[in-house]
Each structure stands twice: as C-alpha cells, then as structure tokens.
Amino acid sequence: MKSKQTKAIIISGAVVLVVSCVCLALILAGGAGVSLFWPFGTTSKETATVVVEYETPEEETPTAVIEVETPTEEDEIGNDAEDLLSDELKMSMDKIEVQVIQIRGLQPTGPVERDLISEEELKGIVANDLFSDYTDEDVHQDTLILSALGLLAEDFDLKQFYLDLYSEQIAGFYDSELKAMYVVQGVGFGGNEKITYAHEYTHVLQDQVYGLDEGLGLNEESCEEDSERCAAVTALIEGDASIMEVLWFQKYGTEEDYQDLMEAYESYESPVLDSAPPYISADLYFPYEYGYTFVELLYGQGGFDAVDAVYVNPPVSTEQILHPELYPDDKPVIVQLPDLTDILGGDWSLADQNVMGEWYTYLILNKGCDEGFQLPETLASDAAEGWGGDAYAFYLNETTDDVVFILDAVWDTTQDADEFFEAFIQYADLRWEAVSQEINGYHTWSGEQGMSVLMQVGDRTLWVMAPDRELVETILSEIE
C-alpha cells in the first residue's frame, strides 16, 4: 500500500501544520516543558489552562513579526532563491539554526538551501513533485486494498484528498531529496513559523548527520521491503524534531511568540484534515504522537546522547514505538507467505505484500470508515497488543477488481492470539454476516468483498478474504 509506505515519508516533510498544532497542543496542555504528556484530542480552546514560563534568551531574540517580502518584476531572474528572502528573515532563520544546533548537539556538515515560494507554487510542488509518481493505477489499487480492509469507502477520491490535504495551510517543509527548506511566501514569521522552522531544521541536521535516505533507509525501495521499519524510523525522526521544537520554544520563545501561537491556535482551521477518514487522520498523527512519547522516554533517560544512540540502532516496528520498553530487544518474528499467483490463475497478480504490524492491526479494528464496525478503542488496542510478527499479501484480479487478502500473524503468547481472535470475531460480526456453513470449520463471514475466514492455532492466527468459497478453500489448502 503506497498510502501506508511512501506517504508516511512525504507527510514527515510536508504537512508541517500538523507539527505546529501538535506542539501548540503540548504548550496549551501544560506549559512548554519537554516532560509534558500530550493528551491529543482532549484539550479544548475554551477550557485549557495555560501556564508558560519564559526563560530569558542568552541573545536578544527579535519579538516583532517579520513579513516576507514579495519579489517584484524588477528582481533579477537569475537570483538564487536565497536572495529572495529579506535580510531580516534570513537573520531570524540563521539565529534559529544556531539555537537548534546548540540544543540538539548535532553539527551540520554544510548549509541548507532555503527557497521562497508562493501558495500557488506550493500547490504545484504537491501535485507535480510529491505526488508525481502516484499514478491513477496506484490510486485505484490502493483504494481497492484499503476498502477491502474496511478503512476506506470504495468511491473515496484518495489522490484528490491527498492533494488537498498537503496543500492546506503549509508554512514550510524540508525536501530531503533536494536538500532544501521551503518557506511559503505571504505568511509572517512569528511564533508558529519559528517553531516550524526549528522542527524542519532538525530534519536538516538528522539528514546531514545520519542520512534520511541512505543511512536510515527512508526511501521507496527500502520501505516497500519493510513498511514496519519505515514507520518506526519515521516516528523516531518526527518525535526527535517535535521534542526539539518544544525545547526551542521553552528556551528562546518570547511572550510575543506565545501570543502569536495563541492567535494561530484560535484561528486554526483544517477542513480537509477534519474530513479525513478515521484511519488517515490517526495514521497522520502516529509519528508525532507516539514518536514524541518514544523519544521523550529516551531523552529523559540520557538526554540527546540517548536519542543519538538510537539512530545507530533504529527501532524496527510500530510495536517498539507504541511500547518503548520493548526497544530494542523485542524484534518481530519473520513470517513468510507462499506465492499464490499460479494457484489463483491468470487474471490474478500480486499487488502488495509486507508487514501489517501492531499499529495497522489496531487501525483495522478501531478506525474503519464506517462507525458501525469500529471496535472500542481499548478493546482494539488490547487485541493488537502482543503482536509478534506477521505477513500480509494482496492479490488483485485485473478483470473484475476482486481482491484476495491474506494476513498470517504470530503472537507473543497463545493468550495474545486468543484476545485478537475474540476481538476480530466481534469486528467481523459487526461488518459482515456470519455464515452458518463454515469453511473447514473456521469462523466464516460473507460481505461485499466476498468470504472471510479466521482461524487460530496456538499463537498463530490466519485471516483470509476472497470473492467466493471455492477460492477461500483453495487458499487455505496452501497455507493453513
């Protein structure tokens, strides 16, 4: 699923409005300290009690909001993008970079290109750069897969949603491929923009010191091989940058910056994000919410030295991010599925295979597109906990658009498998119609996607979905 694998990487560099709101929620919830717990979704603008202590910066920090200068026709066409930034804005950016380096303790290996773009240019970058390789075929395939999992309606316009989401109120972002930071022309440079810049410059340092692409493997090829590892590493880098922006604000934020943040919070609107299917919004916040908690624990144990040590031995699963105490020893069990292409026949092809992981297992149970088959959050979370490893595969029929789905999972204990098994039965009973004539004696349901079967043997569970009974029986004969 491209939406699970490569899109998470795009989000980490593009939707900085999410980061700003996350950091703002932290500040509003209880001050500007790194030890804060983020109760996302529980703090309201009307009832939040705000207590913020300001430290006097070692250097005088400008408190005025700086407006970005708009290039005129008289500007020389051949000027570097950096030259289009006002001297005052460049000075503020330079100062934040020095401050971030001081707090984070990572030394840059060189400067970063900084470009000024208009809102229209931003939309062009989103459409023509970030999504240039997301073809209509990819979109169609992802929609079929995600709807089979119950996460998306079959008629959902996935690509247009992403285009709208990533174009919504972005103040700036870091492009790890071009090694450039972008500032959107027409926005001020107050508190919200400053913490955003601190966050994104942390990504610059991470990239220059550890290598986001090659060193940490946040690239399409690597993520197609192991989406779980990529999701975990993304949470590490976003948690790191999110803590950095809070620390930066605590040390260098002024009262005017705070007031600017308050105004941004009061006027903040995100209609596209607000309309997102439940799984998309939850998955969008995952690296920030749980990544923050993961890095916060490390930071509390040994400061940024402890955080830096994790870059040498990065987390490998969403389970380790969700349960930091399991890092680094609890590694996923490798599960392998046979290739069923020949068994299924000529119209079928393997569309996707990877690892579902604890996080997406939870999303399936709790964040379905229809509230009617969403399990309660605690039940879904408990059912996904105890995940030990899995392998999934999707096969698509090019003629009929039918889907075959297989999820073979191993759990830490038989009790963990029991809990998932019992929770899934509740989920399936809500989503489909139970079939009295079970397949091979296993729990069987019938729905729009065809037949679904769930089996459990000890610490192993197997979920098979196929368009008809005969195909389900054929698949089970190969893998049960």
Residue-wise pLDDT tens digits, 68-92:
333 343 333 334 556 667 888 889 9
Strand order in the sheet with 180-184: 113-117, 180-184, 172-175
pLDDT score at 391: 97
Domain boundaries, the chain: 6-326, 341-479
More confident residue, 375 or 186: 375
Cα(316)–Cα(328) distance, integer angstroms: 8
Average pLDDT estimate for 96-119 = 92
Q: What is the DSSP string of 207-237?
A: HHHH-TTTTT--SHHHHHH-HHHHHHHHHHH
**94-103, 243-252, 374-383: segment of lowest average pLDDT:** 243-252
pLDDT tens, 258-287?
888 888 777 778 899 889 999 999 998 899
Write down the pLDDT at residue 9. Answer: 37
First to last CA, the chain: 24
H-assigned helices in 117-190:
119-125, 136-148, 158-166
Mean pLDDT, the chain, rounded, equals 84
pLDDT digits (tens, 9 = 90+) for 129-184: 778 888 999 999 999 999 999 999 999 999 999 888 887 756 678 888 888 888 77
Q: Is the predicted pLDDT of residue 11 greater than 70, yes or no?
A: no
pLDDT-based confidence at 446, cuts 50/70/90? very high
Strands 180-184 and 172-175: antiparallel
Angle at 210 between CA 174 and CA 218, to 5 degrees: 60
Give the residue, 450 or 187, on which the prediction is more confident. Answer: 450
User: What class, spelled out in words, does domain 341-479 have in CATH?
Assistant: alpha beta
Give the C-alpha separation, 406 to 432, whole Å: 17
Give the whole-angstrom CA distance, residue 242 versus residue 288: 7
Identify the pLDDT of residue 118.
Answer: 80
CB contact at 8 A, 161 and 281:
no
- Residue 55, both tokens: 């430290």
pLDDT in tens, 288-304: 889 999 999 999 999 99
pLDDT band at 47 (very low <50, low <70, confident <90, very high): very low
CA atoms within 13 A on the CB side of 67: 4
Q: Is the pLDDT of residue 63 over 70?
A: no
139: left (phi over 0), alpha (psi -120 to 50) or beta: alpha
